[in-house]
Amino acid sequence: MEAPHALKRNLAKSVRWRFRRVYKHLAETDWYWQIFSPGDDRTAYIIGLFGSGRLYVNDLIERHIGKRARYFRDRICLHRGPTSMIYSGHATVAHLSRAQTPPEVTSRILEAVRLRYADLIFLYRHPLDSLLTNWVFWSSRVRGEPGSVVSSAYKNIDDLCADLERNFATFVAFAEGDPAFFAAAPGPPFLSFSQYTEEIELHLRFATLSLRFEDFMIDPLKEFSKIAKIISVDLDLSRAHFEAPRSKPSRYLVVKEAVPRFKAFAERLDTETKKRIERIGYTV
């Protein structure tokens, strides 16, 4: 039997844990912020297209910004003025896309950024790496399975290459935005690869802060410190432990060498898409 002081301590921990769960649940509801102040900092939007590493950044934010984390939401919401809210989501500027906030909403976010009562933090990575990630994810979804990421779907890069080789026609259909790819899962289209690169370039024009996912793989503390500065969080991060993303940088280069048809696909990209990739700081 537990000693009285140990029982009391464990009971207190249980009560605090339950209180935090109830508080978190209430804070997730919209009416909560109609009763309690949502703060008066500049609203922050963490935006990344599908396959950009946004969930990794979400996790860093929730674990390392202290009390400000109660204002974090993994969704997009609009406000008429500044708040302390931090929203995270996928959003497009010019093209309608499956599972991404549409341009008419994004335009209002960009207007808030222009009026300086909101900040846009845009996360991106090499478009060809994003393309491979998105093909794996959406291929599993159209099969009726939970969306898979590369690290969980394959034991190693060789397995990814083998799967790509076997299903290359499906990959090309996805990259070209062919509606037939989603025939088994009707709904809005997803971005073609050309549209995807255009969306990155557009976001970079308007973002308050732009972050490359590859840079988090090199020095996650340095990159996260940039986010903390934008959202006005003054924390001592010197002793914080930041794990690098599980994703590997430049995976597409390995795939190019192992799958000749993927290499040919990259080399045959239209001129404008290649120029966009170069303008955003990458090479094909």
Given the structure tokens 């308050």, which residue do they identify? 208
Residue 24 maps to a domain:
no
Q: Are residues 182 and 271 in the same domain?
A: yes
Looking at per-residue confidence, does 229 or 4 come out higher?
229
Q: Are residues 102 and 220 in the same domain?
A: yes
Q: Are residues 155 and 275 in the same domain?
A: yes
Asked if residues 195 and 95 have their Cβ atoms less than 8 Å apart, the reply is yes
Q: Are residues 45 and 55 in the same domain?
A: yes
H/E element, 109 = helix 103-114
Q: pLDDT tens across 136-177, in order?
A: 999 999 988 887 888 888 999 999 999 999 999 999 999 999
Q: Which residues pair with 88 in a beta bridge?
A: 46
Q: Are residues 253 and 156 in the same domain?
A: yes
Asked if residues 235 and 64 have their Cβ atoms less than 8 Å apart, the reply is yes
Question: What range does the domain containing 275 cover?
Answer: 128-188+248-279
- The arithmetic mean of pLDDT across residues 114-123, rounded, is 97
Q: Are residues 182 and 262 in the same domain?
A: yes
pLDDT class for 6, splitting at 50, 70, 90? low
- Between the two ends of the chain, the Cα-to-Cα distance in Å is 66
Q: pLDDT tens across 17-76, in order?
A: 554 555 455 444 555 555 556 666 899 999 999 999 999 999 999 999 988 898 999 999
Q: pLDDT tens across 184-207, in order?
A: 998 899 999 999 999 999 999 999
Q: Could you give the CA distance from residue 283 to residue 105 in angstroms, rounded to a whole number?
A: 31
Q: Are residues 140 and 110 in the same domain?
A: no
Residue 1 maps to a domain:
no
Buried b (16+ CB within 10 A) or exposed e, 143-157: eeeeebebeebbeee
Q: Are residues 161 and 75 in the same domain?
A: no
The predicted model scores a pTM of: 0.86
For the chain, how many structural domains are there in total? 2
